[in-house]
């Protein structure tokens, strides 16, 4: 439906209406050709009579010819007027349809833009809810979820897992001596190094404060776990250049293994935390959980 100038709806012409108009136009064309032929014939007849010396024609013949042609011309004119009206209405309807299509396209573009903006906002909100705002690392909620999934996979495939609990030694001294801004930059650098070190299938998270968690998927034995822990210690222990300062950070790492030390998220993290304190007391850099060594 389209609206005319009065605001009232009128139906949009269907394709068959245009076909009828075209057919009518063809009929009108045929009639025009007939009239033209008749006029030509009448003109030729007049010329022939004049050529024979006839200088006057009977009035009734002239009138009859004139009236017959006039009727046909009017008939053709009526057909052409009908065709013109139909096509004019169709053109106006087409203009209305095109205008409506333009408005629809514009509305569609605006809707798509609003949807994309909403999706970006939803994605950002979801990301923010699962990541630490300071370091950009996964937060504890996301880590727990990934560890739970890892436990399910490990149980199904007979894998081992290692959970490393990292704590930065004497981090409070950095905040107290150089300010919290310096402490934040240290955390960001530690996060960058940890994130660059871990494999795609592993997960590093900030647990809060100066604590981090590191999940190793199927690390293939204690020897390899100890090798990874030593590499992390060396990586994080390298000096951090900060303006005119050069800070040295030493972490302590506690390690718990699945399934040896626990079969749940809580058990593995708790025992990795205990092992971290064992490493601090022994000043050994890292320690694998040993229940006999609890103190």
Supply the residues annotated as catalytic: 210
Asked if 191 and 135 touch (Cβ cutoff 8 Å), the reply is: yes
Largest pairwise CA distance in the chain: 145
Q: Which residues have C-beta within 8 Å of that of residue 31, sequence separation ≥ 6?
A: 72, 75, 76, 79
d(CA 80, CA 74): 10
Cα angle for residues 162, 165, 169 (degrees, 5° grid): 145
d(CA 208, CA 113): 37
R_g of the chain computed on alpha carbons: 46
3-state DSSP call for residue 213? strand
Phi, psi of 211 (to 5 degrees): -110, 140
Q: Which residues have C-beta within 8 Å of that of residue 121, sequence separation ≥ 6?
A: none
């Amino acid at each position: 439906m389209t609206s005319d100038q009065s605001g009232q709806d009128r139906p949009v012409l269907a394709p068959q209406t245009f076909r009828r108009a075209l057919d009518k136009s063809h009929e009108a064309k045929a009639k025009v050709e007939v009239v033209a032929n008749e006029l030509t014939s009448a003109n030729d007849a007049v010329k022939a009579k004049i050529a024979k010396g006839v200088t006057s024609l009977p009035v009734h013949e002239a009138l009859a010819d004139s009236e017959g042609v006039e009727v046909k011309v009017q008939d053709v004119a009526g057909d052409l007027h009908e065709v013109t009206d139909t096509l004019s209405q169709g053109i106006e309807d087409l203009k209305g349809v095109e205008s409506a299509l333009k408005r629809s396209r514009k509305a569609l573009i605006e809707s798509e833009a609003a949807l994309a903006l909403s999706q970006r906002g939803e994605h950002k909100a979801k990301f923010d809810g699962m990541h630490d705002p300071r370091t950009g690392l996964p937060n504890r909620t996301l880590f727990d979820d990934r560890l739970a999934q890892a436990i399910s996979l490990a149980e199904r495939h007979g894998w081992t897992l290692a959970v490393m609990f990292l704590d930065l030694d004497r981090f409070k001294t950095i905040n107290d001596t150089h300010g919290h801004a310096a402490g934040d930059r240290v955390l960001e650098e530690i996060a960058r190094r940890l994130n660059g070190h871990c494999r795609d299938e592993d997960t590093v998270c900030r647990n809060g404060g100066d604590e981090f968690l590191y999940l190793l998927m199927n690390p293939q034995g204690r020897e390899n776990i100890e090798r990874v822990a030593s590499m992390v210690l060396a990586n994080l222990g390298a000096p951090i250049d900060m303006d005119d300062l050069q800070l040295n950070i030493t972490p302590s790492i506690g390690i718990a293994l699945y399934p040896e030390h626990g079969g749940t998220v809580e058990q593995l993290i708790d025992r990795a935390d205990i092992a971290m304190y064992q490493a601090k007391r022994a000043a050994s850099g890292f320690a694998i959980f040993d229940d006999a060594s609890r103190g």
